[in-house]
């Protein structure tokens, strides 16, 4: 059967399948690319030596002692990963209502930062600014009369950020969602002669159900109990509010902004990347990672392919960099 003449710009003169026919042409016209340089590796650390403790809810993820961290960081740098983010499991006896351990200049995170900067100086180090690993109630701030006190929490966060900067971290990452903390931390860093320390603001951090495995890994879930963080983390129903949060953090001095979680909030990533001239990062959080891994272990999906597809979707939405627990394995795949 003869094919009728086509109108300009229509089938059959235009066949969009043509560039898809072979691998080389698909790669040639790919609109977005995922590389190891787009990956940030979040790592759980613990006290001790030569320790690597698996996290049950996160297949393939372990808490590691600082000596093991350094060796793994060397692997990450060799694979082309540019930055590592640290999250501590703090010993129960060091937790307190006011998170005093967070301000101790020789705490676990500070020791890890110094070890990394000494032995893997080419790797960027990101330190979380939040109090939940250090509090005996599991909240990200100072609790008074049953509520997290915003301004008192910000005062402590400023001190924590300065302690982390003095230890040598390259980026402090406030993940607490207190109002006004970016401007206050910027002023504190500048006042302490750490004006070159960068700030990654967790600007749109939602009160998500996908954080469960993370809270197991840092051992904060049992302290938080039945309480939740909805009074300070964002309502999952809101998008415009996220744009306001991002705009305020940029105005207060954020160098980068974060959307967290990732897969369920790619619309927020896209809006942020389209609307602001600041790099937008996204976080493939513990629950998102665990779902892909668990489904793969059951044989329901190809976990390797699904992980790559998921991370590429972050890039397509506009994320410059992606926090993912799969960073090492993905970087190795990309190198291959």
Three-state SS for the chain is: CCCCCCCCCCCCCCCCCHHHCCHHHHHHCCCCCCCHHHEEEEEEECCCCCCEEECCCCCCCEEECHHHHHHHHHHHHHCCCCEEEEEECCCHHHCECCCHHHHCCCCHHHHHHHHHHHHCCCCEEEEEECCCCCECCCCCCCEECCEECHHHHHHHHHHHHHHHHHHCCCEEEECCCCCCHHHHHHHHHHHCCCCCCEEEEEEEEECCHHHHHHHHHCCCHHHHCCCCCCCCCECCCCCHHHHHHHHHHHHHCCCEEEEECCHHHHHHHHHHHHHCCCCEEEECCHHHHHHHHHHHHCCCCCHHHHHHHHHHHHHHHCCCEEECCCHHHHHHHHHC
Give the model's confidence band at 215: pLDDT under 50 very low, under 70 low, under 90 confident, else very high: confident
- Name the residue ranges covered by the structural domains of the chain: 33-335
Q: Give the pLDDT score at 292.
A: 97
Burial class (CB in 10 A: 0-12, 13-18, 19+), 131: buried
Residues 85-123: b if buried by 16+ CB within 10 A, e if exposed? bbbbbbeeebbeeebebbeeeebbbbbbbbbbbeebeeb
What pLDDT is recorded for position 336? 82
Residue 258 above 60 pLDDT? Answer: yes
Does 3 score more than 70 pLDDT? no
pTM for this prediction = 0.93
Least confident of 47-51, 82-86, 146-150, 274-278: 146-150
pLDDT interval class at 213 (50, 70, 90): confident
Asked if 82 is an active-site residue, the reply is no
* Catalytic-residue membership of 260: yes
pLDDT at 145: 87
Its CATH class, for the domain covering 33-335, is alpha beta
Q: What is the pLDDT confidence band of residue 7, given thresholds at 50, 70 and 90?
A: low
Give me the pLDDT at residue 84, please: 98
CB 131 within 8 A of CB 139: yes
Q: Which of 205, 222, 293, 335 is catalytic?
A: 205
At 222, the pLDDT band (50, 70, 90 cuts) reads: low
Q: Kindly state the average pLDDT of the residues 133-150.
A: 89
Residue 4 has what pLDDT?
A: 63
Q: pLDDT band at residue 5, thresholds of 50, 70 and 90?
A: low
**In whole angstroms, what is the distance from residue 40 CA to residue 56 CA?**
22
Average pLDDT, the chain: 94
> pLDDT tens, 86-141?
999 999 999 999 999 999 999 999 999 999 999 999 999 999 999 999 998 878 88
pLDDT at 1: 56
> Which tokens is 95 given?
């937790």
Q: What is the pLDDT of residue 243?
A: 98
- CB contact at 8 A, 211 and 262: no
For the residues 296-309, what does the mean pLDDT come to?
97
The pLDDT tens digits of the residues spanning 45-91 come to 999 999 999 999 999 999 999 999 999 999 999 999 999 999 999 99
Active-site residue, selected from the candidate residues 89, 95, 229, 260: 260
- Closest C-alpha among 240, 288, 279 to residue 260: 288
Query: What would the pLDDT profile of 224-254 be if each residue is shown by its tens digit?
Result: 665 688 888 999 999 999 999 999 999 999 9
- Round to whole Å and give the CA distance between 94 and 91: 5
Residues listed for the chain: 336
Per-residue pLDDT, 44: 97
With beta carbons less than 8 A apart as the criterion, state whether 184 and 157 touch.
yes
**pLDDT at position 216, please?**
80
Higher pLDDT, 3 or 142: 142
């Amino acid at each position: 059967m003869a094919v009728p003449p086509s109108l300009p710009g229509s089938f059959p003169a235009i066949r969009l399948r043509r560039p898809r026919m072979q691998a080389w042409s698909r790669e040639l016209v790919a609109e977005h690319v995922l590389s190891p340089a787009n990956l940030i590796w979040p790592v759980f650390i613990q006290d001790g030596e030569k320790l690597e403790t698996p996290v049950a809810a996160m297949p393939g993820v372990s808490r590691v002692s600082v000596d093991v961290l350094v060796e793994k960081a060397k692997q990450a740098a060799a694979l082309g990963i540019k930055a590592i983010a640290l999250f501590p499991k703090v010993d129960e006896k060091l937790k307190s209502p006011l998170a005093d351990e967070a301000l101790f200049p020789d705490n676990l995170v500070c020791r890890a930062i110094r070890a990394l900067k000494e032995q893997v100086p080419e790797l960027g180090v990101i330190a979380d600014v939040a109090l939940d690993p250090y509090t005996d109630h599991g909240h990200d701030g100072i609790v008074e009369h049953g509520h997290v006190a915003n301004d008192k929490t910000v005062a402590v966060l400023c001190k924590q950020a300065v302690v982390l900067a003095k230890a040598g971290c390259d980026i402090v990452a406030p993940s607490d969602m207190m109002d006004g903390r970016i401007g206050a931390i910027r002023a504190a860093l500048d006042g302490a002669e750490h004006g070159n320390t960068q700030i990654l603001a967790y600007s749109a951090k939602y009160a998500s159900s996908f954080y469960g495995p993370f809270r197991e890994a840092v051992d904060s879930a049992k302290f938080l109990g039945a309480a939740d963080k909805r009074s300070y983390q964002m309502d999952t129903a809101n998008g415009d509010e996220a744009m306001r949060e991002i705009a305020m953090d940029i105005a207060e001095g954020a160098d980068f902004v974060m959307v967290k979680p990732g897969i369920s909030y790619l619309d927020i990533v896209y809006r942020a990347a389209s609307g602001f001239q600041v790099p937008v990062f996204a976080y493939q959080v513990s629950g998102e990672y665990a779902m892909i891994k668990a489904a793969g272990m059951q044989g329901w999906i190809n976990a390797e392919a699904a992980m790559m597809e998921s991370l590429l979707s972050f890039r397509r939405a506009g994320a410059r960099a992606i926090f993912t627990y799969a960073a090492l394995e993905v970087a190795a795949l990309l190198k291959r």
